[in-house]
Amino acid sequence: MATATNSILVSPGVRLHYSQAGPPAAPNLVLIPGWSQTAAQFQKQVAHFQTRYRVTTYDHRGHGDSDKPGFGYRVYRLAADLEALLEALELRDVVVLGHSMGVSVVWAYWDLFPPTRIRKLVLVDQSPAMTINPSWTAEQKAEAAAMFEPAQVFEASNAMMVGPQGEEAREALSRSFYTEKVSEEDFEWSMRQARKMPPDLAGRLMLDHAAMDWRDVIPRITVPTLVVGAKGSPIPITGIEWIAKQIPGSRLEIFEKEEGGSHCMFWENPEKFNRILEEFLAS
């Protein structure tokens, strides 16, 4: 089935590249990629679901084939871009799937806009808060699934924003998104997608992304939600489990590392991921 690609204006001077596949009258499924990745990361999901769903994917500003202005690299700005996209494409009664930072965009969207367009949510492997507050108790650290000490965030972001080591810093972080079983060909493909975002913009967005704490937003979600995590991911499972406990009636799915359970489990084990998602969509 053919995939249509186009671009859409979401704010003055900023156009987002998007793709749509599947019957126009079919139920809407919107897939939101993570930090420095592109809509192409969902190709295995688009191929599977396009026969029965209208699947929309897009590149955030600064990412992929979208415009790369010198401003707007904040999660809340990306949420506003999402609303502009949904409105312009007249998408309603939507199942929205976010991966990694794409989940943070979903949470920011929920915080900003009346969720009248959203029917269901799928939250794939994102910490409620990524950076450790030194005053937190061990329990708070566990529920937040915090990955970084504050100094680590600035070190990684600064490395991307300043000097030739920016690509090395991004590649080192990206390596942790996959298990050791991922092929070098697949990893290099993902890095080619990531390199479409200039490293200085990636560093600026990472600073904002890592500073967010979504624990006051998550309990306010009121639509059916699927929460997915993986034991081979750098995101601690404790935070993924905490998210599921906060959302009434949510469904939790955890991938084992041995079954491709990485941060990008939908790439390493698409058969299981697509089956779980299909069951959730049909429920």
Q: Identify the pLDDT of residue 2.
A: 59
Cross-strand partners of 4: 20
Give residue 263's Cα distance to chain centre: 10
Residues 6+ positions from 77 with CB-CB distance below 8 Å:
61
Residues 6+ positions from 106 with CB-CB distance below 8 Å:
32, 79, 96, 98, 121, 123
Write out the H or E segment, with its range, that includes residue 84: helix 75-88
**102-128 CB burial, b ≥16 within 10 A, e <16:** bbbbbbbbbeebebebbebbbbbbbbb
Q: Identify the pLDDT of residue 1.
A: 57
Residues 6+ positions from 123 with CB-CB distance below 8 Å:
98, 103, 106, 225, 226, 227, 228, 243
Q: Dihedral (C-alpha) 191, 129, 78, 249: value to the nearest 10 degrees?
A: 110
Give 3-282's CATH code, choosing from 3.40.190.10, 1.10.760.10, 3.40.50.1820, 1.20.1250.20.
3.40.50.1820
Measure the CA–CA gap between 242 and 3, rounded to whole angstroms: 37
Q: Identify the pLDDT of residue 163.
A: 62
Question: Per-residue confidence of the chain (283 residues) as pLDDT tens digits?
Answer: 557 789 999 999 899 999 999 999 999 999 999 999 999 999 999 999 999 999 999 999 999 999 999 999 999 999 999 999 999 999 999 999 999 999 999 999 999 999 999 999 999 999 999 999 999 999 999 999 998 999 988 888 888 877 667 777 778 888 999 999 999 999 999 999 999 999 889 999 999 999 999 999 999 999 999 999 999 999 999 999 999 999 999 999 999 999 999 999 999 999 999 999 999 999 9
Strand order in the sheet with 54-58: 3-11, 14-21, 54-58, 28-32, 94-99, 118-124, 225-230, 251-255
Measure the CA–CA gap between 248 and 238, rounded to whole angstroms: 17
Domain spans in the chain, listed from the N-terminal domain onward: 3-282
Q: Which of 135, 132, 136, 128 is nearest to 235 (CA)?
A: 128
* Separate counts of helices (H) and strands (E) for the chain: 11, 8
Q: Which of 66, 67, 118 is nearest to 95 (CA)?
A: 118
Q: Are 1 and 22 in contact (CB under 8 A)?
A: yes
Residues 6+ positions from 282 with CB-CB distance below 8 Å:
none
